[in-house]
Every structure is written in structure tokens, then in C-alpha cells.
Amino acid sequence: MQWLKSAIRACIEWLESILDRVCGPTLNPLNQLGALGWFQFWLIAVSGIYLFIFFDTGVTQAYSSIESISRDQWWAGGILRSIHRYASDGLVLVAFLHMLREFAMDRMRGARWFAWVTGLVLIGFIYVCGITGYWMVWDQLAQYVALSTSRWLDALPIFAEPISRNFLSNAELSGRFFTLMVYLHIAAPLLMLLFMWVHIQRYNYALVNPALKLMIGTGAGFLLLSLVSPALSQAPANLDQIAATVGLDWFYLAFYPLMDRIGAVGLWWLVLAVFAVLLVLPWLPRLRESPAAVVHLDHCNGCSRCFDDCPFGAITMNPRSDGAAFSAEAVVDADLCVRCGICVGACPTATPFRRATALVPGIELPAFNLEALRDRVETVARTLTGESRILVFKCPHGAAVTPPVDTSVGVIEVPCTGMVPPPFIDFVVSRRLADGVMLAGCREGDCYERLGVRWTEQRIGGERDPYLRDRVSRDRVAVSWAGPGQGADRGQALAGFASALIRPPGGTQPGATAEQRAAWRQVPTRPSAPVRYAALGVMVCVSILLLGFFSHRPTVRLRADTAAIVTLSFSHAGRNRQECQRFSPEEMARLQPNMRRIGGDCPRGRWPVYVELELDGRVVYAGTRQPAGLWKDGPSTLFARFQVPAGAQRARVSLRDSGRDNGFDASATADLDLAPGQNLVVEFKQPGGFTFK
Amino acid sequence: MTYIEWRPSFATGIPDVDHEHQEMIEWINRTLAACGQAGGARDAVTDLLGEIYARISAHFALEEHVMKSRRYDQFAEHKRDHERLLDEIRDMMDEHESGGQVIEERLASRLAPWFSEHFRLQDARFHSAGL
């Protein structure tokens, strides 16, 4: 598991650093996959509402209304239909990338299991939406989807009648089925939206809108794709025929060719197994955590800053419980706390200057208390020598601090840079414990604890409480946001910061020029605009090609070119195992008057139905179908399809439903001349016997 | 030595805030007293100033929270005033740290009046605005 995680993580980080250089952290799509999912959901919803206005339910109306949308008003309905499809494909892509990334970055254990598990539910919803959507079009693909989905569901032993029997032939197909599909295709996204909301419930300031430019770019990409390769229906569905091949949307329907290989039951086991593994993943292994943040009521006046800053909604402000004259107090929910310490960084009492009483802030991490942090700062600072002594507060999730780590650089690891209270920076700089302070955290836009980087930037920038005081020269404070794969950037930033700090002899201010001082802030350096735009263009083209191609290619072969299909199906109740026993007059007399109407004892159990199909003397199917129902008193059902060579042949079908040992209760023969692709339905009904249609 | 005295006119009517104001006056007076002691009180003053700084920071945080939640219209102004005072205290701390002996004077001449003014005008206006 660990090596898998690391391998995926390395790939993602490599991709991320490239995108960081091309788009910059704020526009890097990998930093906002979830938000991109939301955006695509809205695109799908809006285009779907428009399509719904023109969609007709009905066996032939469904297809023709969609054809009309795509052709008569290609400039509106057609484009929106394409956007509806491609954004749906994009949603699958983004959802899986999102999931893969949270897995690889190890962001689904501990308190974060909740988003992981609700995310899995969302993936289920995405598939329900997609499959019902493809079904509604009622083209060749829809036919494949309908039959495959029915077959898959029929493998569950819960239906008295196979759903597949709804799709026996054109003549028996009911228009009501499309009403049901429309209903499902609207209900599922609504429920999905509810779960999307639940999915982000535990996150404060959850990002649900990607950056504006990214939204515009994504939308434009879909529009371009819609014009280049509009989403069109395949040939209309015809249940009396089976097409040789069908173009497949691999984002949604890849399971169906797989089912053709491993069978419906096999697919159920596979899906259940994968789902079960994913479900328990947050606890494999269980995250071993230090104790959650604790509130020291003696030092908490209920100012709510920790509540405002907690990225995981682990803090609530409750009425005061200790009788102090304040109205509120912070309360930590240990089950939601991820031990990032961002609350400590927000607490106004977390200042290292306080000495008259112990350095106990209103809220802190027991395993990482502030007094120990101050001691560590002072201890490490004492070991520093040279002209540019730098104290680095480093989080464990970002890049390592590589050279120049010597006696001029001291590193103190904190759970998150957001945990460092700004007064600590003031403390280090004003007491000359070091010449400069560097806050070294995760890649910008992708803080492991979600908001540590953002709050740190805002606190230093004087935009968010607690401010880093203006009196602290910003020339002495550096930030370095770099992921584990960006160690070189970090080294460069550190070296640049160090050289900017070197003072001229006798001077007290950093001696470098403004440009030199600012140089380290430009790390990582980004390529020139033309290179960036070219790279961006390649990126967009690759995404478009990916979506445009796999949304209907490669095709799947459903039968051999020269083959025809024989469907053998019935829903027929075998005979009762026992005749009714009429009660004798004495037995009748013993019964209560209201029970005498029955007049006898009729056991409900039925015989199973045995059926055999031969083509030119070759047995194609022979099997016993058990009666449905807990008491084995329902009909026996069958829906089975066989590929047979086209051409003239003699069919013989026989059935036994009476429990006799040999011989048949009904049989029929027919001389068939099957055309390639023809779907011949052999059905048994009572009364009427076998029919060949 | 002029100590600050709590006066009923300082009262804002909000128990949280009044409670902390009183506490803070106590800490300032303790610091003034420590300053008054001859010789060895240097470290004590450093510690007390650090303590005052932490407590005032927390107090302002609470006050700003109350103001924001009540949509106090002069929040920005009031907040600036808070920051100014915090800067002033930090200056004093640094000055004291670097060996200056002006601390007592400064506390008495700047901080104390600032405090009583701030309480009397700013906070009182905020709270009497009936928000």
C-alpha cells in the first residue's frame, strides 16, 4: 500500500510542479479538482435543464426529440447536449483524479475519512446519472446499456421477473419506461447534490468554485470540443436487431464489456470487492495521532479566532461552562481535529513574550505545546552562527530543507506553518535570535492541512488576525511553499533569502538592493509567457482529445459479423407439486366458519421448469429454472441470449413443468432463416405455447 | 506613582469586556509597582510587559469579535486604535529589553491615559451605541 501511495504521489507531484510552472498555483487545476467537479456539475445541470425542455418520453419520441435537439437547433440544444456529455465525462475524470490524489497524498485517514466515504457514495451517484442518461437517448448504445444494465441487475436474486424481459422486442417495449428513466435521471443528480453538500460539510471554507479563469478555460474547452466533435446519437435502437459493434463512452460504460467477459455475477463481486477495499482504506492502517487540541479555559476569553481559522470545523463556540465572566468558550471535537495546530497560530494569547505566568495559550496541542516550542526556538537559535542566521519553521508535508543547512540555518519542525503564531516571528526577529525567519510549508495552493499556507500568508500580509506586526521588517521574513518534489526550489529560496539578509559591515539593515532582496520571492521561476501559453494549449488539446476520443471510441464488438442472436425467454409458473386436498365433512366441521370457504388444503409449492433449445440437433441451452419466491410458489423465469450462425436452421424447443422424469409437457419446432444481426425471440406463454418472433 | 483606577464610568455594560478591563488595569498597576521597585525588578518588568501584551491582545481579539458580530460601524477605526496600542506596548517592551529605563515614565504617561481614554471614549461609545 505504502509503495503504491508513494508511486502515485511521485507521479502527481511531478505533474503538479509542471502545471505550477505553466499555470501558476492559483490556476493549477490539480489544486482544485473538487471545485472543478462542482463546476462541471453546474454545467451539466444547466445544460440538462435546457435539454429536458425539448426531450419527449416514448419509444420513438425519445430518439427523435434528441435528434431534433442535435440537428434542428445544433447552435443551442446541440451544443448544450455536447457540453452535457463532455462535462459528464470530465466529471468522471476529475472525480477519479481527486480520489487518487487524496489517496496518494494520504488525506483520507483520521478525521478525513468522512469526505472519503461520502466521496465514494458520490462516485456511485455519478454512475447512476451517467447510465440513466445514456439510456434515455434510446439509440444503439442505449440499447446496449439497457440490456447490459438489466442483465447486471437481474443477477441479483431480488427480482421476481427479470428486468431484461422489458426489452424483449420493439413490440413489447413500454413508453412508460422512459418516464421512469427521466425520473431517475433527475432524482439521482438532486440526491447527488445533497451528498456533494454533505461531502464538504466538515470543511470550513470549502472550495466549491474553481478560479474564474479556470472556469472560463474549462467552459471554453468544452465549447470547442462540442463544435469539433458534437455529441450525436448512434442509429436508433431496434430490439429486433443486435448491432455488430457499438461506440462506447469508456468513462461511464467500461464495465459492460468487462461484464461480457466475467459475467454479471462476476461483475457484482468485482464491484463489491473494489468498493469494500476503498471503503476501509481510511483505516488501512489506522492513523496514529497525538492527542487533539485542548482548550485552556483560564486563558480563553471566547474571542473565536480559532473557530474562524480551523480548516476542519473541529471547533465550536459554546456557552461558558466555567463561570468566568465571558459568554463563550472554544470547544474542540477530538473526532474532527487533525492536530494541525492552526488554531494555536490564531490564538491571541500565544505569544512567547509572556513570562509572568507559564506560556499557556487558550488552545494548544498537548503533544506540541508552545512552551516547548519557545524553548526549542531559543535552543536552536543559540547554535546559529554567521551573518545570516535563519530560523526555519518547517511543516512535515512540504519539501525538505536541503543545503545550505549549516550553522547559519536552524530548522524547527511544526505540524503546519499555520501553527506558528505571528508573535513568535516578532520574538525571533526583535530579540535577534536569528537574522531572518522562514516559514516553509506545502506547495502553494495545496496545503496538507488545507488553510495553513493561506492563513500564514494573510497573517504576514496583515489581512488576517493575528497580524504579524508592521514593526517586523518583512525583509527578515520569508515564506517558501514547496512540495516534496520541489526541494530545489526551496534550497534556492533559502539561499536567496540568506544572501538578502547579509548586512554590510556596521550596518543594521539588510544590505542587498530591493531587487536582490525580492529575488527569492520569485522562486520557483516561471517560464516566459509564450512557453506557458504553448504548454497551456498542449494541455487543453490533450484534455479535449482524451475526452473527445474515449467518450465514444474505441467501439465494442457485440457479435460476430455473420452471427444472429436467439433470445430464449419466458416467465412461466410450473405446475403445483401437490393437488389440492378437499376437506372431508368432519374436517370442515372442525374449522371455524370463516375458514370453511377454502374447502381444502392447497400446498403452494411449484415444480421447477426444465427447458431445452436445439438448433439443427445441437443443444444450445438446457437448464432447470427454479420457481421464484420464498415458498417456491412463483413463476420460473428465463432470459438468455445466444449467438448463433446466421442462415437456415431447424429449431426445436421443449419444456417440462410437471415434475415428470422424462418427456416434455410442451414443445415446438420451427424452420428458421436468420439474417445476420437478427434477434429471434423464442418465448413460451400459457396459453399459447412457444412462439418464434 | 500614579496608578490607574477603575471607575464606574469605564463600564461598558458588557460583562466580558468590563471583566477584562478590570483585570488589565490590575496588571498595569502591578507593572507600575514593579517599575517603582529599585534595582532587581528588571526581569519582573519584562515578564509583566509580556503578560500585558498577551492579555491585551486577547482582550482586543474578543472586543473585535464582539464588534464584528454586532456590525459596529466604526470597527475599522477602533481596530486601528487597538493595533496602535499593541505597537506601543511592543515598543516599550523592546525599549525595556535594550536597557532603557524610561519604561515607568512611559507606562505612566502614555499607556495609562491611553487606556482610560480608550475605555471612556471608544469602548463606551461602541457599547452605548445600543448595538
ipTM summary value: 0.89
Chain A residues contacting B, CB < 8 Å? 299, 301-305, 324-327, 348-349, 351, 353-357, 362, 423, 426, 430-431, 465-467, 469-471
3-state class percentages of chain A: helix first, strand second, coil last, to nearest 5: 50, 15, 35
Among A301, A356, A465, select the one facing B50 at the smallest CB separation: A356
pLDDT at site A357: 81
Sequence spans of domains, chain A: 2-10+32-283, 294-522, 563-692
- Better-scored residue on pLDDT, B4 or A350: A350
In a domain, B93, yes or no: yes
A 10 A CB-CB count for A355 gives 17
Among A354, A423, A465, select the one facing B61 at the smallest CB separation: A465
User: Cβ contacts (< 8 Å) between A362 and chain B: which residues?
Assistant: 58
Q: Which residue of A has its CA nearest to B64?
A: A303
In total, chain A counts a number of residues equal to 693
In a domain, B6, yes or no: no
User: Domain A563-692 has what CATH class?
Assistant: mainly beta
Q: Which residue of B has its CA nearest to A327?
A: B16
User: Cβ contacts (< 8 Å) between B65 and chain A: which residues?
Assistant: 302-305
Instruction: Find which of B62, B87, B93 to mutate to test the A interface (most A CBs within 10 Å of its CB).
Output: B62
Number of domains in chain B: 1
Residue A576 phi, psi (nearest 5) = -65, 145
The answer for A106, left when phi > 0, alpha when psi is -120 to 50, beta otherwise, is: left
Q: Chain A: nearest CA to B7, how far in angstroms?
A: 18
List Cβ neighbours of A357 (8 Å cut-off, separation of 6 or more).
B51
Q: Cβ–Cβ of A466/B57 closer than 8 Å?
A: yes
Chain B residues contacting A, CB < 8 Å? 15-16, 18-20, 44, 46-51, 53-55, 57-62, 64-65, 83, 86-87, 90-91, 93-94, 97
Residue among B6, B34, B2, B1 at smallest CA distance from B20: B6
- Return the bridge partners of A638, or none: A570
pTM for the whole structure: 0.90
Q: Which CATH number fits domain A2-10+32-283: 1.20.810.10, 3.60.20.10, 3.40.50.800, 1.10.20.10?
A: 1.20.810.10
List Cβ neighbours of B100 (8 Å cut-off, separation of 6 or more).
none
Among A325, A466, A471, select the one facing B19 at the smallest CB separation: A325
- For the CA atoms of A73, A77, A83, A84, the dihedral, rounded to the nearest 10 degrees, stands at -140
In DSSP notation, A252-306 reads HHTHHHHHHHHHHHHHHHHHHHHHHHHHHGGGTTPPP-PPPPEE-GGG-----HH
DSSP A314: -
DSSP B118: I
In chain A, the N- to C-terminal Cα span, in Å, equals 54
User: Cβ contacts (< 8 Å) between B62 and chain A: which residues?
Assistant: 301-303, 326
User: Cβ contacts (< 8 Å) between B23 and chain A: which residues?
Assistant: none
pLDDT at site A523: 62
User: Cβ contacts (< 8 Å) between B58 and chain A: which residues?
Assistant: 299, 301, 303, 348-349, 362
In a domain, B5, yes or no: no
**Given this chain, do its domains A2-10+32-283 and A563-692 carry the same CATH topology?**
no
Which is it for the CA torsion A294, A296, A302, A304, positive or negative?
Answer: negative
Q: Chain A: nearest CA to B124, how far in angstroms?
A: 18
- For the CA atoms of A78, A84, A90, A91, the dihedral, rounded to the nearest 10 degrees, stands at 180
Cα A646 to Cα A246, A505, A643, A679, distances in angstroms? 20, 97, 9, 10
A336: cell is 474532527
* Residue matched to cell numbers 513574550: A353
Residue A193 phi, psi (nearest 5) = -60, -40
The answer for A309, left when phi > 0, alpha when psi is -120 to 50, beta otherwise, is: alpha
Structural domain boundaries enclosing B58: 12-128
**Position B122 confidence tier, pLDDT thresholds 50, 70, 90:** low
Q: Cβ–Cβ of B16/A299 closer than 8 Å?
A: no
Cα A301 to Cα A150, B18, B55, B65, B120, distances in angstroms? 62, 12, 10, 11, 22
Q: In this complex, how many residue pairs, one in chain A and one in chain B, have their CB atoms less than 8 Å apart?
A: 80
User: Rounded CA gap, A408 and A34, in Å?
Assistant: 41
A654: cell is 421443449
Cα A189 to Cα A88, A183, A218, A454, A683, distances in angstroms? 11, 10, 21, 33, 38
Q: Chain B: nearest CA to A361, how far in angstroms?
A: 9
Give me the amino acid identity at B39.
G
Q: Chain A: nearest CA to B129, how far in angstroms?
A: 20
Which is it for the CA torsion B26, B27, B30, B32, positive or negative?
Answer: negative
- Model pLDDT for residues B55-79, shown as the tens digit of each residue: 889 989 998 998 888 888 888 888 8
**Position B131 confidence tier, pLDDT thresholds 50, 70, 90:** very low
Give me the amino acid identity at A314.
A
Q: Cβ–Cβ of B53/A467 closer than 8 Å?
A: no
Domain containing residue B22: CATH number: 1.20.120.50
Report strand pairing: A477-481 vs A666-674. unpaired
Q: Cβ–Cβ of A304/B65 closer than 8 Å?
A: yes
In a domain, B4, yes or no: no
**Position B92 confidence tier, pLDDT thresholds 50, 70, 90:** confident
Q: What is the mean pLDDT of residues B97-101?
A: 73
Give per-10-residue mean pLDDT for chain A (693 aa). 88 89 87 95 97 90 93 94 96 96 92 95 96 94 94 89 88 85 94 96 93 93 94 92 93 94 95 96 88 94 95 95 90 95 96 86 94 94 90 93 75 95 95 93 91 95 91 90 88 86 57 59 75 87 91 91 93 87 84 79 88 92 90 90 92 91 90 92 89 89
